[in-house]
């Protein structure tokens, strides 16, 4: 499956992406705001095993984020913890190639995957958490239409201290209304 925009192409992930994921997992600047699974070093074998099973999880959709110009894998994103009963899920993104940071790619990918969640998966709500100490991510989510819902105080532990996480979400009705008004 491919979703293509001016800047990025989203595609399925597979075991051939292991080298990029391993390199990203070894760079603490890349993983500092990521899931806890990146808090500890992972072997190339662990990453390959994870990638070989990633597309078989009904509660998660994951896409490789590639540069449209070069086709190079620069990150991944998707929706996890999908509840078919509640029609909701949790958005995630990692731009692993630092040379693509600050170019609006996070906002663009967030918009494309959010639209996919609502208009293909039929979700009603997509939520996320972002470290309060990561203003670039928060700005990207705001630019993509996510609204602040609150703060989870001291819910993350990074660099030897507890830090707050900002809770954000967007609802299908708000998303479709915003598309109509554009």
Report the pLDDT value the prediction gives residue 58, as an integer from 0 to 100. 73
How many CA atoms, within 13 angstroms, populate the side-chain half-sphere of residue 168? 24
Report the pLDDT value the prediction gives residue 182, as an integer from 0 to 100. 59
Residue 165 belongs to a domain with what CATH number? 3.40.630.30
Report the pLDDT value the prediction gives residue 125, as an integer from 0 to 100. 98
Report the pLDDT value the prediction gives residue 157, as an integer from 0 to 100. 84
d(CA 81, CA 84): 10
Report the pLDDT value the prediction gives residue 174, as an integer from 0 to 100. 92
Phi/psi for 63 (5° steps) reads -130, 140
Comparing CA positions, the residue from 97, 99, 115 lying closest to residue 107 is: 115
Which residue range forms the structural domain that includes residue 104?
A: 3-181
Q: Mean pLDDT per segment of 10 residues, for the chain of length 182 residues?
A: 82 89 78 59 76 77 92 93 96 90 92 95 96 91 96 89 94 84 61
Cβ within 8 Å of residue 147, ≥6 positions away: 168, 169, 170, 174
Q: Are 80 and 94 in contact (CB under 8 A)?
A: no
d(CA 42, CA 45): 8
For the chain, helix (H) and strand (E) counts, in that order, are 6, 8
What domain count does the chain have? 1
Report the pLDDT value the prediction gives residue 54, as an integer from 0 to 100. 75
């Amino acid at each position: 499956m491919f979703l293509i925009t001016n800047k990025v192409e989203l595609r399925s992930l597979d075991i051939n992406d292991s080298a990029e994921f391993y390199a990203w997992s070894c760079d603490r600047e890349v993983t500092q705001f990521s899931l806890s699974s990146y808090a500890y070093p992972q072997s190339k074998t662990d990453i390959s095993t994870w990638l070989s099973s990633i597309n078989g999880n009904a509660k998660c959709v994951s896409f490789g984020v590639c540069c449209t110009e070069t086709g190079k894998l620069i990150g991944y994103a998707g929706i996890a913890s999908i509840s078919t009963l509640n029609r909701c899920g949790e958005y995630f993104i990692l731009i692993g190639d630092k040379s693509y940071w600050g170019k609006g790619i996070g906002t663009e990918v967030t918009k494309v995957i959010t639209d996919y969640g609502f208009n293909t998966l039929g979700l009603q709500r997509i939520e996320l958490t972002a470290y309060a100490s990561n203003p670039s991510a928060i700005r990207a989510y705001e630019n993509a239409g996510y609204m602040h819902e609150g703060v989870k105080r001291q819910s993350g532990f990074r660099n030897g201290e507890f830090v707050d996480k900002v809770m954000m979400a967007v609802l299908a009705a708000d998303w479709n209304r915003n598309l109509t008004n554009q």
